[in-house]
Amino acid sequence: MTLITRRRLAAWAGSLLLGTSFVAQAADNFPSKPIRILVGYTAGGAVDAVARAVGLRMSTILGQPVIVENKPGAGTNIAVKTLTTSPPDGYTLLLAANALAVNPALFKPAPYDLDRDFTPISLVGRVPVVFTVREDSDIRTLAQLVAAAKAKPGGVTVATPGNGSTPHLAMELFQHTAGLSLRHVPYKGGAPALTDALGGHVDVVAVNALEALPLAKAGKLRVLAVMSSERSAVLPGVPTVAESGYPGFEASVWYGLVAPAGLPKPVQARLHEAVQKAIESSEVRDLLATAGGVPLPGPSEQFDKLLKSEAARYGKLIREANIQPD
């Protein structure tokens, strides 16, 4: 080995050790500035509410402000693009829902690669999807919704929080299962969809229970059915879709935090620890419980596995039902 070669190897080894040292030092000092959590939906919706509850607890745990930033549009792809083009340093996160697993199959070309573009941090929780109508609607049961849709194919409008959202896919799955033709009306979040339902602009809303329950309890909305496998503890008198003549039907919304690909392992571990503590808090548990939801503690690998299984499940539905983004 020549002297020049030895010097080059020594320089390369030194730079590698120096780089590793910088990463370790950054992880040890993490976080040293505010963290932002991106949300691909409008403020006031369920994903936004969960992000703010979790972020508030994480702020206390990590000793730095955690700021929620809403970036709605393009089926959450705007928020996802912001995340994937941000440095993988742990200071930009995304509070994702099922759309993260859906969009690679829904949009052509795929807007991102689930395997290459993200670092899963942790699942947060799960809540059921519901069908709901305005309290004075002529549609008072799921059976009446089916009858109205069969009497006038395409005449019943169903609002959802957006293309590729879990309620959208749940609606598509239901109409496919029941042999119906419903007219989908996508919104940029559940809150504006519910507002238009209250105003009589749409007939039905498919939305997660977290957003619908306050209005239902106020007597402004009526929940026709829950899409969980069992009845909700907070809506014990409302039947499931499965028990209403469609056995095996189930649709829930899950929430989880992801970071850009390439996040240092120590930073991932620190964030995971903070999320686990946050979802143990009464604030987050109570928020989920008000909608019949549950926290989902567990390792980052559990979230990674769910992302892959959900992508396969929804990808099959999108292909078979020929679902297209509007």
CATH number at residue 70: 3.40.190.150
Q: Is residue 3 part of a domain?
A: no
Which of 182, 188, 153 is closest to 170 using CA atoms? 182
Same domain assignment for residues 162 and 137: yes
Whether 326 maps to a domain, the answer reads no
Query: 15 and 89 in one domain?
Result: yes
- Whether residue 198 is found in the same domain as residue 235: yes
Query: Which positions ≥6 away from 257 have C-beta within 8 Å?
Result: 37, 54, 93, 94, 95, 96, 121, 122, 124, 271, 275
Q: Which of 312, 124, 166, 316 is nearest to 253 (CA)?
A: 166
Residue 113 exposed, middle or buried by CB count within 10 Å (0-12, 13-18, 19+)? exposed
Per the structure, the count of domains in the chain is: 2
Please provide residue 260's backbone torsions phi and psi, each rounded to the nearest 5 degrees: -65, 160
- Cis peptide bond N-terminal to 153, omega within 30: no
- Full domain range(s) for residue 262: 11-127+253-321
Domain assignment present for residue 50? The answer is yes
What percentage of the chain carries pLDDT values higher than 70? 91
Cβ atoms of 267 and 30 closer than 8 Å: yes
Contacts of 177 (CB under 8 A, 6+ apart): 246, 249
For residues 93 and 54, state if they share a domain.
yes
Answer yes or no: is 5 within a domain.
no
Please tell me the pTM assigned to this model: 0.78
101 and 132 assigned to the same domain: no
CB 157 within 8 A of CB 202: yes
Instruction: Average pLDDT across each block of 10 residues of the chain; the chain has 326 residues. List them in order.
Output: 52 50 63 97 86 97 98 92 98 95 94 97 94 96 97 96 85 92 91 94 93 92 92 89 92 93 98 97 89 89 95 89 77
Task: Label residue 7 exposed, middle or buried (CB < 10 Å: 0-12, 13-18, 19+).
Answer: exposed
For residue 144 the two structure tokens come to 């009446």
- Residue pLDDT, tens place only, 142-162: 999 999 999 999 999 999 988
pLDDT in tens, 72-87: 988 899 999 999 999 9
Q: Give the CATH number, domain containing residue 176.
A: 3.40.190.10
